[in-house]
Structure 1
Amino acid sequence: MAWSHPVPQITDEERRGRLAQLQARLEERGLAGLLLGSTESLRYFTGLVWHQSERLIGALVTPSQVYYIAPGFEESRIESLPHLTGEIAVWQEDEASAALIASLAGPVGKLALDDALPLFVYHELAQVFGPDRLFDGGRLIRDLRLRKSPAEIALIEYAMSLTLEVHRRAHGIIKPGVRSSEVVRFIDEQHRALGAPEGSSFCIVSFGAATSLPHGADGDQVYQPGDVVLVDTGCRLDGYHSDLTRTYVMEEPDAEFAATWAIEREAQQAVFDAARLGTACGGLDDAARRVLEKHGLGPDYRLPGLPHRAGHGLGLEIHEEPYIVRGNTTVLEPGMCFSNEPMIVFPGRFGIRLEDHIHMTETGPKWFTEPAKSPTQPVG
């Protein structure tokens, strides 16, 4: 499908730069290579997009080479897909992919592994390499992916703007009798209409007491007058996610809901205000909980209060580092992107989650989207 958005896709030049950084680190650490699976890291470094299956398809990155690892019958398919230049090394159905990888990596040095590889791949590799030659490559990968480039930030920001507009449109169709499934379908259609080719990457629409369940309830709910509405959705552009939640009521809110919504917004703002370069991620979660405790909620993970972390990183994965959670000593640096969503839950009654995302600039935090305005105005 032709690219029609005002922000560019990630270029091969940028991916070659990522790959060069990875290869330099492999060389520095004396590693024989890094094995990428059919994961978002494969896409990040090589541009190849492939979905996980029972057969290993990925890439072996050595300090000087890139080998695409694939069953023989998929070679022509891989050749047809976008990816950086590299030799396609094939294994046949009656052969072991681990043996092929060992022949390419050589007999010396440890093999680093993509931390998202499935366990069956690890076991096959351990039989050939021995466990002592296998190395957890997760930190190596995550450190390179943690700080987003200007091109990545531009894609995320544009995807967020699309989803914010979808929220505005969805707010307009909430009427008595509408089913959550109808709203979910409408949101998917609107994401597609705005140029997200795969539609919604996920969508939660909850009414009433179901809003107290952070990830929604089973079944098809029906909106009734006075219900609290929670909509959490996003899309992907060139693989990069948007993710926004709005919680509101369609009529004038009662005093309790209005007061709790204001506390939620105060906690969200406290996270933003605490997001300073050099600050530990755990400090942002602490800032949100201090607001809730001041208003008699919590403490800790007790309910009514905040039952989960205050945020998560986002990029090619919708949940990735850095995590905005108590005790996380990762310090904020330019290029880091993360959600700000210190949800307040009253079990069995209602929940309020306002979720916007932040990216760290050279001078401090910046919203990807402007936060909600009021309990009845989810989009400014």
Structure 2
Amino acid sequence: MGSKACALAQSNSWTESTIDLRVSRLGMKEPQALRPRERWRQFFKRLIVAFTASAILMLVVQFLADFVSSRLTPLNIVNINSLRYEAFRKCSVNTFLETGLPWLETASPIVLHEFVQRRNNLAVALETDGIDAFIVEPGYTFQYYANISQKDWEVWEPEERPFLMVISPHFDTTLSKVVAKTSFLAPHFEEGRVRMLGMPFEEDLSIITWEEHWNPYMTLWKNWHTAIGTEDLGSIEIPKVMVDEEMRDFIQRGLGENDFEVVGLAGSVKRVKQTKTVGELNILRAINTGTVEALRAMRKCMVPGLSENEVMASLDSTMRAGGIEPFFDIVLFDENAAMPHGGPNGSKVLENETLVLIDVGAHLYGYSSDIGGRRLNTCT
């Protein structure tokens, strides 16, 4: 046994010395464990290589997509940066500005006291119709009463969490008349954003907040005395609330399932928004007149060779130069005009005896125009 152990030890010693000899002959060093700093350095190197490879791959994919797209684009599309187009655009803008834009002189943005009056008119209508409150979410009606559109609140798409404005009639003993009491229902984490919207109110905003794990509609019901500005609910057991056609179905159902009686827009309340003030009429007159005059100015500068896209772009540029913002613009030539809301690609070119159809709309201070016209081009 002793001789075997001795022989094994000698064998191991010989093997180790042989390995040492081979390593020394090859000029190699024994591997050592990497220090922590070196390990991190190698990790970041690999990370940089991976990110670089990903970026290059994305660029290649984008290049191929652009290449394929360019091959699929019709060859007859006119270059919108052509000298002809630029001369046409400048002529149109200058002709429009030479009018002096007199229609803008009587138009001005809706001011604070008019928003207050709108809500007070609504409160009187609610009282007349026997409705406890009007509830609305961001949209055109919300914008009419508080100057906040859906995009002002959520630019991408309507928010899934209810943000509601509650307007109720309240008798002001000092003024001896019915005025509006306005409250808001909002997610707790959004309260700060609601206050920063700059809505047109003379007093501090009254906001009822709800947490993510709460029922927002039951929260509103439990705080109804705060929402309508009174501790005496009297005979109100089931609040009767009115909503308009913009209110999404899931919110209407949420209110109805939590002890609210929900009714649709009707009666005196409906007529409040339909009745226009002098200020509103001045804006409507200005935006419609301005749109027509921009169209007339551009028409004087049209020459053969322009494409539908170029005429459209020039009209947009002309309106913007006069302080009005286009929100849709359709220009169609000849047979394309048979498709009322758009041609194939806007590449058809204006010629003598071309039928021109234009449908255009623009915004000014939240109000819109919608002008349509057709003519036979006889330019030479």
Distance change (3 Å), C-alpha of 1:27 and 1:205: same
| Corresponding residue number in structure 1 for 2:332 | 206
| Corresponding residue number in structure 2 for 1:124 | 254
Equivalence map 1:1-380=2 (5 Å): 6=105, 7-51=107-151, 52-64=158-170, 65-85=181-201, 86-105=205-224, 107-129=237-259, 133-196=261-324, 199-225=325-351, 226-251=353-378
Cα distance in 1 between the residues matched to 2:304 and 2:246: 44
The runs of 5 or more residues in structure 1 that have no matched partner are: 253-375
3-state DSSP class of the match of 1:202? strand
Cα distance in 2 between the residues matched to 1:179 and 1:238: 31
The alpha-carbon deviation at position 100 of structure 1 amounts to 3.0
Cα distance in 2 between the residues matched to 1:139 and 1:187: 41
- Aligned-pair identity in percent equals 22
The alpha-carbon deviation at position 121 of structure 1 amounts to 1.6
The alpha-carbon deviation at position 172 of structure 1 amounts to 4.0
The alpha-carbon deviation at position 149 of structure 1 amounts to 0.7
Instruction: Confirm or deny: 8 A CA contact 2:108 2:365 kept in the other structure.
Output: no
Cα distance in 2 between the residues matched to 1:183 and 1:129: 56
Distance change (3 Å), C-alpha of 1:251 and 1:156: same
Cα distance in 2 between the residues matched to 1:90 and 1:142: 28
The alpha-carbon deviation at position 138 of structure 1 amounts to 4.8
The alpha-carbon deviation at position 229 of structure 1 amounts to 0.8
Cα displacement string for residues 296-340 of structure 1 (whole angstroms, at most 9, x for unaligned residues): xxxxxxxxxxxxxxxxxxxxxxxxxxxxxxxxxxxxxxxxxxxxx
Cα distance in 1 between the residues matched to 2:319 and 2:185: 35
Cα distance in 2 between the residues matched to 1:126 and 1:88: 21
Distance change (3 Å), C-alpha of 1:248 and 1:33: same
Distance change (3 Å), C-alpha of 1:90 and 1:234: same
TM-score for the superposition, normalised by structure 1: 0.59
The alpha-carbon deviation at position 167 of structure 1 amounts to 0.5
The runs of 5 or more residues in structure 2 that have no matched partner are: 1-103, 152-157, 171-180, 226-236
The alpha-carbon deviation at position 244 of structure 1 amounts to 1.4
Instruction: Confirm or deny: 8 A CA contact 1:26 1:32 kept in the other structure.
Output: yes
3-state DSSP class of the match of 1:108? coil
Cα distance in 2 between the residues matched to 1:97 and 1:213: 46
3-state DSSP class of the match of 2:354? coil
Cα distance in 2 between the residues matched to 1:241 and 1:181: 22
Instruction: Confirm or deny: 8 A CA contact 2:308 2:331 kept in the other structure.
Output: yes
3-state DSSP class of the match of 1:235? strand
The alpha-carbon deviation at position 211 of structure 1 amounts to 1.8
3-state DSSP class of the match of 2:319? helix
Cα distance in 1 between the residues matched to 2:269 and 2:346: 40
The alpha-carbon deviation at position 155 of structure 1 amounts to 0.7
Cα distance in 2 between the residues matched to 1:103 and 1:84: 27
Instruction: Confirm or deny: 8 A CA contact 1:236 1:242 kept in the other structure.
Output: yes
Query: Which structure carries more helix by proportion?
Result: 2
Distance change (3 Å), C-alpha of 1:168 and 1:136: same
Instruction: Confirm or deny: 8 A CA contact 1:115 1:138 kept in the other structure.
Output: no
Q: Between the two structures, name the one with larger relative contact order (CA 8 Å, sep ≥ 6).
A: 2
Instruction: Confirm or deny: 8 A CA contact 1:156 1:240 kept in the other structure.
Output: yes
Q: CA RMSD of the aligned region, Å? A: 2.6
Cα distance in 1 between the residues matched to 2:302 and 2:296: 11
List, as ranges, runs of 4+ consecutive aligned residues in structure 1 with deviation greater than 6 Å. Answer: none
Distance change (3 Å), C-alpha of 1:216 and 1:71: same
Cα displacement string for residues 269-317 of structure 1 (whole angstroms, at most 9, x for unaligned residues): xxxxxxxxxxxxxxxxxxxxxxxxxxxxxxxxxxxxxxxxxxxxxxxxx
Instruction: Confirm or deny: 8 A CA contact 2:125 2:269 kept in the other structure.
Output: no
Distance change (3 Å), C-alpha of 1:247 and 1:29: same
TM-score for the superposition, normalised by structure 2: 0.59
**Letter in structure 2 aligned against 1:14:** E
Instruction: Confirm or deny: 8 A CA contact 2:186 2:207 kept in the other structure.
Output: yes
3-state DSSP class of the match of 2:329? strand
